[in-house]
């Protein structure tokens, strides 16, 4: 209950505070590339319900049809402004809307697309007992995931066989120890990583 109240209050205040920034980023996206401002993608959330995540669009239209993973900083599908938005994590700001309406929380396992969720074991699907989050310990550990994938011959295979299982292990460990204060700690670590 405290976690949800925190999510509602902070996401609402956050959206009000950064509203001018959201408008500026939206205008820049529209002026520099064709397509919508937001990228809406189906993700699997609480109780395995499907929801659409809000992100600023950082890639050319329909790029997700060429592959769901972003590989390296030089992925040709990423727009010029998209590179900056991804690097600074500003593309994630619209997810405050998802937090406010209850699809997501500030801290929780990052929501995945159904294609990869279908590969989870029943034991791994326990993570769907909590709301997915904007950030989690696994995201911090794999903050350079796209750079790692760029070094692999088969990025998707490496993601499915190595990165994804390790992320799920981190998230399952989180579920065992989670508390309001541990969530605050993950939020602070996330800010520290972004600033660095």
pLDDT digit string, tens, across residues 46-75: 999 999 999 999 988 776 666 556 555 567
Instruction: Find, among 55, 130, 141, 137, the residue nearest to 96 by Cα.
Output: 55
Cα R_g (the chain), whole angstroms: 16
CA quadruple 18, 101, 103, 58: dihedral sign: negative
CA distance 116 to 120: 7
Residue 151's pLDDT band (cuts 50, 70, 90): confident
Residue 147's pLDDT band (cuts 50, 70, 90): confident
pLDDT digit string, tens, across residues 78-134: 888 988 898 888 999 999 999 999 999 999 999 999 999 999 999 999 999 999 999
Encode burial over 103-126: b for 16+ CB neighbours within 10 A, e otherwise: bbbbbbbbbbeeeebeebeeebeb
pTM of the model: 0.88
Instruction: Identify each DSSP E strand in 36-186 by its residue range.
Output: 38-44, 50-56, 105-107, 133-135
| Domain coordinates in residue numbering, the chain | 2-195
């Amino acid at each position: 209950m405290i976690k949800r109240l925190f999510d509602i209050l902070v996401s609402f205040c956050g959206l009000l505070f950064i509203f001018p920034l959201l408008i500026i980023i939206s205008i820049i996206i529209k002026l520099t590339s064709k397509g919508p401002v937001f990228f809406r993608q189906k993700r699997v959330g609480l109780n395995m319900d499907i929801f659409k995540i809000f992100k600023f669009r950082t890639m050319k239209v329909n790029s997700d049809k060429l592959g769901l993973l972003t590989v390296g900083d030089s992925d040709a599908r990423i727009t010029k402004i998209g590179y900056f938005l991804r690097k600074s994590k500003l593309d994630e700001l619209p997810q405050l809307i998802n937090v406010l309406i209850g699809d997501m929380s500030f801290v929780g396992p990052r929501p995945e697309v159904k294609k990869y969720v279908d590969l989870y074991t029943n034991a791994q699907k326990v993570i769907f007992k909590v709301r997915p989050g904007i950030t989690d310990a696994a995201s911090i550990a794999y903050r350079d995931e796209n750079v790692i994938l760029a070094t692999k011959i088969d990025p998707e295979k490496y993601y499915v066989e190595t990165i994804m299982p390790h992320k799920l292990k981190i998230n399952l460990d989180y579920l065992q120890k989670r508390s309001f204060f541990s969530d605050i700690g993950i939020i602070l670590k996330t800010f520290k990583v972004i600033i660095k």
